[in-house]
Amino acid sequence: MATNSTKANPATDPVMPDENGHFGPYGGKFVAETLMGPLADLDDAYRESLQDTDFIAEFERDLAHFVGRPSPLYYAERLSSELHGAQIYLKREDLNHTGAHKINNAIGQALLARRMGKRRIIAETGAGQHGVATATVAARFGMQCVIYMGADDIQRQAPNVFRMKLLGAEVVPVESGSKTLKDALNEAMRDWVANVDNTFYIIGTVAGPHPYPVMVRNFQCVIGREARRQSLEQIGRLPDALVACVGGGSNAIGLFHPFLSDTAVKMIGVEAGGDGISTGRHSAPLNAGRPGVLHGNRSYLMQDSDGQIIPTHSISAGLDYPGVGPEHAWLMDSGRAEYVAVNDDAALAAFHQLSRLEGIIPALESSHALAYVNELAPKMRSDQSIVVNLSGRGDKDIQTVADRSGITL
Amino acid sequence: MKNRIQHCFTALQARNRCALVTYVTAGDPSAEVTLNIMRTMVKAGADIIELGVPFSDPMADGPVIQRASERALQGGMSLQGVLALVAKFRLENSLVPIILMGYFNPLEAMGYKKFSELASAAGADGVLVVDAPPEESNDINQALTAYGLDQIFLISPTSTRARIERICAVARGFVYYVAVKGVTGTKDIDTDEVSSRIQEFRQMLPLPIGVGFGIKSPESAAEVAVSGDAVIIGSALIEIIERHQGQPETMYDAIASFVKSLRDALDEARAA
């Protein structure tokens, strides 16, 4: 395994990764030589864009007027009083245009694509939220758009598939492997390597080869910057804990990263425990996997003893992924963040609970974070506070929830 | 015998022949069939065998090799099983170099040192880790080198001069030029472009240059053979294996005649 002799401390050194995309022993660029040139070009273009005040102003303008930012920090009064503990605040990413945090990153990368002169956009999607966000920005910028989606996920997320098509995207079913998100990512990467001259690949999470993890993180950091400022304004101080669900981990890193040097703020990422960690049917690589190399980076993976990637399970398609962003691996190993797992049943209960108590139907992904808050908040004092990332809304999940309850819509 | 790869290229170059490298995924559909395929390839004129280590997520491969990987894993093939297959082949053939081609994760799961030790003991000669550019290869490269294994690297149409120099510094055996922008077996190569790139590389590279990804017929193999030191054929062979699943005898015949047609095409191209 690659080693870094000087062990940096993410609490005091938020400038990770290094120039080759390593977060301690994680991250990097594990791709075939064919992709090294295109990744270097992307890295150059991305770095240049950071120096371009027009680019940054346009990104911020789109976040304000197209996405509808800032998203509110909402005090969940009835949920807080039900749990008899810490005060609970929801960062309302579900109120963004297209209904989830994914659009923040999709806009950033689409602007970068335009800057690089690429007219064709491709993306992978699991639950369909990143696919919808990408199809949306492609329509907005007048670009051709192809979305790769596992054939099984297409079955589970029919409304999002139709949404992408309405937005003018072509949705390509991926029949290989486990027919889910990881296979869609393989297929999108293959498309990219073959069509790199005119094509920009918008990865939806903080995984993939460098510079994707750092680039996606930085586009998503708007969540944490806003939440930090809103906490100071509304609570009068920083929250005591941040809670977010983790599949690949983009909504979590977007919330966590701006708080890294606020060492008093605890950070808890919630993985999908599926049927339970002990059953093996889950998607919790940080809790129950081990480090390895997949999709261009080193991180924790769900794998067998022979290094083959194993099937994952979660009620939430957006968390159904065998890997996790390398920065999360680094934050866990260094102790700065903690990662727990929540089972399908607990997530489902939290889904119903928030719907009834607050009038907000949360995404099943975000419901994992809410389920953990049910355990955490009662152990805290009433003068303490928790910010939960409500990363998406649950309209897309009503079919899954109805099926699970034996209801025919 | 060590340095089979170097010996192979030296001997072929002395006779002005282009090396024929044939790929097969280990365990597709079984270890026994793969061993027979390796024998058949050598008998029909292959100079080097590239043995694929199946992986669940072969991101740089096209659908044909992905399906081969899936069949192999379905049949229970493992990295240990691949090495056992190499050892078996070595019992009857001590000359033909074997290159293991695969992805990082199975090798990392076994451990680089243990893998290198076992692969060397089994009689493998080189290892191509598709998703290991030089930047990420320090540790595995040290282990492979310590056990006398050549790490084979890819170069591509998008490799800059600086990258090629970096690859030269660590590459052993030969370099593998990916002739198309894409994954294995999907596009046809542009042979004129390939030969002009190879002329460029010759100025920088002290090693033999093999060409692969996108060579499907004896005709395109012959065109590449004029400038390349080796022609690598993968997906076209796997398609034959796929077509004859369940009928091993007709599969071996079809492989033998395809490999022989490639061999003849390479030899004629060099004779012309």
Query: What is the predicted pLDDT for the residue at B2?
Result: 58
Question: What sections of chain B are H helices per DSSP?
Answer: 4-14, 31-43, 63-74, 79-92, 104-110, 112-122, 138-146, 161-170, 191-204, 218-225, 235-243, 248-271
Tokens representing B184 are 């294995």
Tell me what pLDDT residue B32 has. 97
Q: Is the pLDDT of residue A5 over 50?
A: no
Question: Are B183 and A37 inside 8 Å of each other by CB?
Answer: no
| Residues A32, B131: C-beta atoms closer than 8 Å | yes
Q: Which of B78, B105, B155 sits opposite A33 (nearest CB)?
A: B155
**pLDDT tens per residue across span B13-54:** 999 999 999 999 999 999 999 999 999 999 999 999 999 999
Rg for chain B, CA atoms, rounded:
17
Burial of B1: CB neighbours in 10 Å, binned 0-12, 13-18, 19+: exposed
Question: Is A124 part of the annotated catalytic residue set?
Answer: yes
Instruction: Point out the catalytic residue in the list A29, A49, A80, A102.
Output: A102
Contact B158 A36 (CB under 8 A): yes
Q: Rounded to whole angstroms, how far apart are CA atoms A270 and B222? A: 57
> Which of B188, A177, A280, A155 lies closest to A185, judged by CA?
A177
> Does residue A4 have a pLDDT over 50?
no
Contact A30 B167 (CB under 8 A): no
Tell me which residue has tokens 């290892």. Answer: B127
Query: Could you report the per-residue pLDDT of A349-365, keeping only the tens digit for each?
Result: 999 999 999 999 999 99
Chain-chain contact of B57 with A294 (C-beta, under 8 angstroms): yes
Residues 144-183 of B with CB under 8 A from A: 153-160, 163, 167, 178, 180-183
H or E segment and range at residue B233: strand B230-233
Binary contact (A30, B55; C-beta < 8 A) = no
Mean pLDDT taken over chain A: 94
Report the pLDDT value the prediction gives residue A344, as an integer from 0 to 100. Answer: 98
For the cut 50, the answer to whether the pLDDT of residue A2 exceeds it is no
pLDDT at B186: 72
> Is A233 marked active-site?
no
Task: With H, G, I as helix, E, B as strand and everything else as coil, classify residue A182.
Answer: helix
Q: What is the pLDDT of residue A7?
A: 47
Is 70 exceeded by the pLDDT of residue A6?
no
Q: What angle do CA B166, B169, B175 make, to 5 degrees?
A: 85
Nearest chain B residue to A304, by CA = B109
* pLDDT mean over B72-77: 97
Ranges of beta strands (E only) in A196-322 are 199-201, 241-245, 266-276, 281-283, 290-294, 297-301
- Of A3, A38, A307, nearest to B108 by CB-CB distance is A307
Query: Closest chain B residue to A196 measured between Cα atoms?
Result: B181
Sign of CA dihedral A186, A187, A190, A192: negative
- Residues B227-236 have pLDDT tens digits of 999 999 999 9
Count how many pairs of residues, chain A against chain B, have C-beta atoms within 8 Å. Answer: 133
Cα dihedral A200, A206, A207, A211 in deg (nearest 10): 60
Q: What is the CATH number of the domain that holds B63?
A: 3.20.20.70
pLDDT score recorded for residue A389: 98
Say yes or no for a CB contact (<8 Å) between A30 and B156. Answer: no
Sign of CA dihedral A82, A86, A87, A92: negative
Report how far residue B235's alpha carbon sits from residue B217's, in angstroms, rounded to the nearest whole number: 11
Give B179 or A142, the one with higher predicted confidence: A142
Q: Tens digits of per-residue pLDDT, A203-242?
A: 999 999 999 999 999 999 999 999 999 999 999 999 999 9
Using the structure block, give the residue that is written with the tokens 């073959």.
Answer: A194
CA distance B19 to B105: 30
Closest partner residue to A38 (CB to CB) among B107, B153, B158 is: B158
Cα-based distances in Å from A103 to A1, A205, A224, B6, B106: 35, 11, 15, 53, 35
Is pLDDT above 70 for A11? no
Q: How would residue B157 be classed by pLDDT, with cut points 50, 70 and 90?
A: confident
**B 10-29: CB under 8 A from A:** none
Give me the numbers of helices (H) and strands (E) for chain A, helices first please: 16, 15
A1 pLDDT tier (thresholds 50, 70, 90): very low
Could you tell me what percent of chain A has a pLDDT over 70?
Answer: 96
The whole-number pLDDT of residue A15 equals 65
pLDDT at position B205, please? 87
Domain range for B247 is 4-271
Which stretch of A2-6, A70-74, A124-128, B104-108 has the lowest confidence by average pLDDT?
A2-6
Active-site residue A80, yes or no? no
Chain A interface, Cβ < 8 Å to B? 1-3, 20, 28-34, 36-38, 176-177, 182-183, 186, 189-190, 193-197, 292-296, 301, 303, 305-310
* Alpha carbon distance A205, A129 (integer Å): 11
Residues of chain A in contact with residue B58, where contact means CB-CB under 8 angstroms, are 186
Per-residue pLDDT, averaged over A89-97, amounts to 98
B56 touching chain A per CB within 8 A: yes
On the question of pLDDT at B183 being above 90, the answer is no
Answer yes or no: is pLDDT of A329 > 50. yes
Question: What is the arithmetic mean of pLDDT over A129-148?
Answer: 97
- What is the number of structural domains in chain B? 1
Average pLDDT over residues A98-119: 97
Q: Residues A197, A191: contact at Cβ < 8 Å?
A: no
Question: Ramachandran region of residue B213, left (φ > 0), alpha (ψ -120 to 50) or beta?
Answer: left
B106 has a pLDDT exceeding 90: yes
Would you state the pLDDT for residue A239? 98
Q: Which residue has the higher pLDDT, A127 or B227?
A: B227
Q: Is B192 on the interface with A (CB under 8 A)?
A: no
Say if residue B223's pLDDT is above 50. Answer: yes
> Are residues B8 and B19 in contact, defined by beta-carbon separation less than 8 angstroms?
yes
